[in-house]
Structure 1
Amino acid sequence: MRIITLPLLILSGVIFPINYIPHEFRQYVLWNPIVHGLESMRLSFFEGYHTLDGIDMTYLWLWALGLMTLGLMLHVRFAGRLKAQ
């Protein structure tokens, strides 16, 4: 499990800021909505922190809203099976 989680932690920006990732890979890392939340949090916490131009909290909120909608739809769809167990 650690073999899988360590690269994911590095790519999500938890251990290293996105500025340390090579330029050609940054566009792929920005697909991860967690990166947008972490970079926005660092930007608001540290005064002199410089982040990438592609960081947008709207992207994170849309992902969160989409996943909550999907979860609600799945809950409504499988509510009978959940009550039976």
Structure 2
Amino acid sequence: MTRDGLNTLKEIERKVSKLREEAERLRARIINFYRDEEDVLDQEAHIRLSYAGAAVQDAVPCITDALLGLQKAYDAEKALMDTYDGLLNNKSNE
């Protein structure tokens, strides 16, 4: 991977991290909306809001898994790049 690719991977990682944080905020907001803030009178609406909160809650671990995968890919690519750089520096010093 090129340095630009590595930077792009890091940028994607940051965006996924922000997405995870936003998903956690939205989950809390949905739950607070139908439990505390609003009088949801229709049972179907209450059930659908409950499902929506659960769906967002289920998404958070998936986003976390994606984030961990991106971090591991970055670390692996960075380590390989550092190894190549080290070999090239040693070769040029000889």
TM-score by length of 2: 0.40
Which structure dedicates a bigger proportion of its chain to helix?
A: 2
RCO higher in 1 or 2 (8 Å CA, sep ≥ 6)? 2
- Structure showing greater radius of gyration is 2
TM-score by length of 1: 0.43
